[in-house]
């Protein structure tokens, strides 16, 4: 898209963060719907639609700012550092989510709650690790 002004790399990376946040919100809401319909998990005091929307957008904007900082200061090495760092963070969060303790008296709710957080950690980490660098590299073809 042609602009009357020169876009900065910060504005491009923030746009990527917002776009990725929208996509992540759709994926997380679809996962939430699928998990709740398959397991009949109805507990929604901690994780509900509004918290999914807010956290998805917030996490992706923060991740895009981290990507911007690393890319501006270290160029392609910064992109590699970002991908490796977020891949490790995703794995650690996924393993941590798999060890969530027992919070419910109904055993199937404990498993569903654990699967819920493992899914969110995996999907969000995957988006932060793969989609943000990919869209940032293909920015001129998308916007």
Chain segment 79-119, per-residue pLDDT in tens? 999 999 999 999 999 999 998 877 777 777 888 888 999 99
pTM, 2 dp: 0.88
Mean pLDDT of the chain: 90
Report the half-sphere exposure of 39 (CA within 13 A, side-chain side).
20
Rg, Å, the chain Cα set: 17
The token pair that represents 85 in the structure block: 């760092």
The token pair that represents 24 in the structure block: 């992540």
């Amino acid at each position: 898209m042609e602009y009357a002004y020169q876009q900065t790399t910060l504005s491009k990376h923030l746009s990527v963060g917002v776009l990725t946040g929208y996509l992540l919100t759709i994926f997380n809401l679809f996962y939430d719907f699928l998990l709740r319909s398959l397991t009949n998990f109805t507990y929604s005091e901690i994780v509900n639609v509004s918290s999914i929307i807010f956290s998805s957008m917030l996490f992706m904007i923060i991740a895009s700012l981290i990507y911007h900082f690393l890319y501006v200061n270290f160029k392609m090495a910064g992109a590699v550092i970002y991908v490796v760092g977020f891949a490790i963070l995703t794995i650690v969060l996924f393993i941590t989510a798999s060890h969530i303790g027992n919070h419910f008296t109904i055993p199937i709710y404990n498993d569903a709650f654990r699967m819920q957080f493992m899914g969110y950690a995996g999907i969000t980490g995957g988006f932060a690790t793969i989609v943000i660098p990919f869209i940032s590299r293909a920015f001129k073809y998308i916007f």
